[in-house]
Copies of this chain bind each other. A is one copy, B any other.
């Protein structure tokens, strides 16, 4: 299958989007087949996927399916992790794990280490999740358990997109999301961690407005906006709503991944 890079004119936005949380996703365990779980949930909801549907999945269930559980009792912090842990007042074993997951430290403060994750984005504590993070088969005397982000969320999104797209014979997209804080603003919003099947960034630079004036800055972070919209219905504490359908976009096939959303550190005024 040859896929082409999309042209700006290929990406149309309908006048109405429906953002629907799909119930029926069980607590996912290591080794579970996510595409089977997603298909079962859509079947149960009586939904047939069709062209233009975007399947949004919280990274947590992807991490669980991929077995990204870590028993902190088995993590041995080194000297640097111990010193940092004291500085930011966190568990040195967690700090060790955050450092292993990261390319470097961006900022530090009481309670949080802001890092550039090995996947390239910047977030607090490398996105490591400590709530509901134990595997179902955890021995009673084990833990505390935490959950790291998926190894390669773009690849996970692409695999899911290929399987679901074939199953429904539809041009769908998959966005794997997490929600983090941001510089300058309070509160978390959803971000696209893995993207497959749609342009993550909609580049309209060079298009002209209605007066023929060339638009200056019109790269729209479509996949992040989709993640933010899904976050409104998905909730974060409730594991039963990690699956969201966003229906109403029209997009071309695209090979663009979530990497398109990352600023190069050398272009980043806040790096």
Contact = CB atoms under 8 A, between A and B. Distances in A.
| Identical subunits present | 2
B236 A220 contact: yes
- Give the size category of A's interface with B: 35 or more
A181 B217 contact: yes
A158 interface: no
Contacts of A231: 220, 225
Nearest to A235: B13
Contacts of A121: 184-185
B188 A228 contact: no
A58 to B, nearest CB: 13
Contacts of A122: 183-184
Given A131-B215, A229-B232, A232-B226, A260 B186 contact: yes
Interface string A227-271: 011011101111101000000110000000000111100001111
Contacts of A179: 220
A42 interface: no
Contacts of A219: 186-188
A221 B131 CA distance: 20
A204 interface: yes
Contacts of A82: none
